[in-house]
Structure 1
Amino acid sequence: MNNNSPQGAVSTPQVDIENDNSAAVTITAEQAGQRLDAALAAQLPQFSRNRLQSLIKAGSVLLGESKIVAVKYRVNEGDVFSLTLPEPEEAEPQPEDIPLSIVYEDDDLIVIDKPVGLVVHPGAGNHTGTLVNALLHHCGDSLSGIGGVKRPGIVHRIDKDTSGVLIVAKNDFTHKGLAEQFADHGRNGPLERAYQALVWGAPIGLKGTIDANLARATANRQKIAVVKADQGRHAITHWQLQERFGPEDKPALASLIECRLETGRTHQIRVHMAHIGHPLIGDQEYGAGFKTKHNKFEEPLCSLIANFKRQALHAGLLVIEHPRNGQIMRFESPLPDDFQGILQGLRQV
């Protein structure tokens, strides 16, 4: 309500845009007979008249289930128009000359040893400097149209601060074949994905399986959380103890775990290991409660862990069947230096 309206004048209600970029505008008696663009402009002052005219012409305004595309359409009292803003179109990623560590390459696929800090594909806050930008430069037009504009050739991903093996398709045939293998997660085929993780403490036993559904956390949509069995998406992680660190007669201070995925959910290993009480060393999101654990160690290990500001997770192994010739291909990546430094320090504890 406009409290500055002259006495006796009727003010027009103002409508807010909802979170889903939509709004419902009900025509008042005073607006009856007005042009549609004028009536909308009165209730949606956050938009210019020209912007509203463009939205009307684009079919973004409905009366009931009917699109109204005429800006001069005369409105009636009680008409309810729904306006839906189109999703903003993001710029097509451009080729960038970014160095790549190439493990293998042929006419159908390319295997990258992804370093820590490299984002896989463009997204919010990362529109340039991604693996996709680098691949477009390296592979040229052969990637265009594969897997969509934002993710050409990408069939799986690794978090920005996780290192290791990642495979990319160069054509539609290979993209389809690899996507089918990753969707199957090795249940009926040769696909293998193994990760090395340094975690706080050590799980009970030599190996185990974490079966816990995952979904976006309600309090923070950037994080993932374990949810009830009838909610979220099914997620299974198989783990095996590789090394245990600390005095033999006391609980382990840390351990090296190999994780193999039966499903591929966002942050799956990180959330699952935190869920069983053994978050990854350096994990700022899911291991915040363990951030002072490094004080248990002497120098230089104490400082190494304190300054390790990422999750200690590495995609060390990938096995696939080549979609073109059926050859079983095995790719491995050595641990990066910072991960290796902490590992060597733990072995001396």
Structure 2
Amino acid sequence: MMDSDTSDLSQDELFEHYRFEASKGQEPLRVDKFLMNFIENATRNKIQQAAKQGHIWVNNKQVKQNYRVKAGDQVKVLFEHPPYEFLLTPEAIPLDVVFEDDQVLVVNKPAGMVVHPGHGNYSGTLLNALVHHIKDLPNNSSGRPGLVHRIDKDTSGLLVIAKTDMAMANLAQQFFEKSTEREYVALVWGSLKEDEGTIEGPIARNPKNRLQMMVFPEGEQGKDAITHYKVLQRLGYVTLVSCKLETGRTHQIRVHMKHLGHTLFNDGRYGGDKILKGTTFTKYKQFVENCFKILPRQALHARTLGFIHPTTGKQLLFDSQIPDDIAKCIEKWEGYAKHLDG
């Protein structure tokens, strides 16, 4: 009779849910603490249960919760059931469709919507809406239907979805070759010295905070990342900038702007939800708090998206309006900047 304890299951009988590689700068750290830093919304109890059941593997070997992760370790979390994204439930969630034909779909994602299911976000995602809207979407290399690229939960803006295998391959190649056009609008803390410039710096996970990414200027680790920025409007203690991506790394604009010394306004993960520039006056603090209430997320919007259509070969370029929350926050700062100028 088979034991109900899943620790006897071979790796072949389990499904991989998470895979992480410990960075070069990783100090020895218990695997349960390491995974707590890596997996959003994970409780220590859940991770310890996974370890007890033999579901945590390092370098293809089962480990206990007290195993110390070292630089270069391959850490995997496996379970008996497939990851939730493979059990996608179609949901009748309205989509803001900007363009659609038989090959591609361009949508304007609202802030607050997660792009695909993951730990703690098992429904209500863009992907749940897409599989309801379109039948038989092709899988990308990660097994996620239709997705060619993604943007963060609290970033709003344009995304292109592939509706056929051919479109998926073609668009993936365009993103790989960096031939797509992607422009974001961001409100950042402080006044930039230059009116325009380029930020170059490899991006990898922050070894001290695994939920953050960071720039490694010496190039000792990370993936190459290039962001071109241009000042659109100077508003006293904040600046409105346009950012064009040459590469598409996780949190790229958020990390690059922080590295430049200009963290995105109200970006809680990177410290932008504190008053980073300005005065100590109580009225100013109240003003900023009001701005945070108007815009309760990082001030980032994927405004422009351009690519070559997979079958017609035509260059397509789409623009979207800056959403109300960012627009109202800009308006508040415009009023404040006039007061400063006066």
**Shorter-normalised TM range:** 0.7 to 0.9
Query: Residue in 2 aligned with 1:235?
Result: 225
Relative contact order (C-alpha < 8 Å, sep 6+): which is higher? Answer: 2
Q: RMSD of the TM alignment (CA)?
A: 2.7
Shift of 1:230: 2.5
TM-score, scaled to structure 1: 0.71
> Equivalent residue of 2:268, what SS?
coil
TM-score, scaled to structure 2: 0.72
Contact persistence 1:284–1:309 (CA under 8 A): no
Whichever structure has more strand as a proportion of its residues is 2
Structure 1 position 180 matched with structure 2 position 173: yes
Pick aligned residue for 2:253 from 263, 269, 273: 269
Amino acid at match of 2:251: H
Shift of 1:298: 5.2
Separation in 2 of the partners of 1:279 and 1:155?
27
Amino acid at match of 1:306: F
1:239-318 aligned within 5 A = 239-246=229-236, 253-288=237-272, 290-291=274-275, 293=277, 301-307=287-293, 308-318=295-305
Separation in 2 of the partners of 1:153 and 1:208?
34
Separation in 2 of the partners of 1:185 and 1:208?
19
Structure 1 position 220 matched with structure 2 position 215: no
Structure 1 position 152 matched with structure 2 position 136: no
Contact persistence 2:228–2:246 (CA under 8 A): yes
Amino acid at match of 1:221: R
Contact persistence 2:108–2:159 (CA under 8 A): yes
Highest Rg: 1 or 2? 1
The unaligned stretches of length 5 or more in structure 2 are 15-60, 64-75, 338-342
Q: Cα 1:59–1:276, aligned 2, differ >3 Å: closer, same or farther?
A: closer
Q: Cα 1:344–1:53, aligned 2, differ >3 Å: closer, same or farther?
A: closer
The unaligned stretches of length 5 or more in structure 1 are 1-36, 38-47, 61-81, 247-252
Pick aligned residue for 1:55 from 2, 5, 9: 9
Pick aligned residue for 1:204 from 193, 214, 218: 193
Structure 1 position 322 matched with structure 2 position 309: yes
Separation in 2 of the partners of 1:106 and 1:121?
22
Structure 1 position 335 matched with structure 2 position 322: yes
Shift of 1:301: 4.7
C-alpha deviations, 1:262-298, integer Å up to 9, x for none? Answer: 1110001001101111111011111348436577675
Separation in 2 of the partners of 1:162 and 1:52?
39
Separation in 2 of the partners of 1:243 and 1:310?
20
Shift of 1:183: 1.1
Amino acid at match of 1:114: K
Aligned length: 270
Contact persistence 1:207–1:241 (CA under 8 A): yes
C-alpha deviations, 1:114-151, integer Å up to 9, x for none? Answer: 000010011111111110000000112x21x4216752
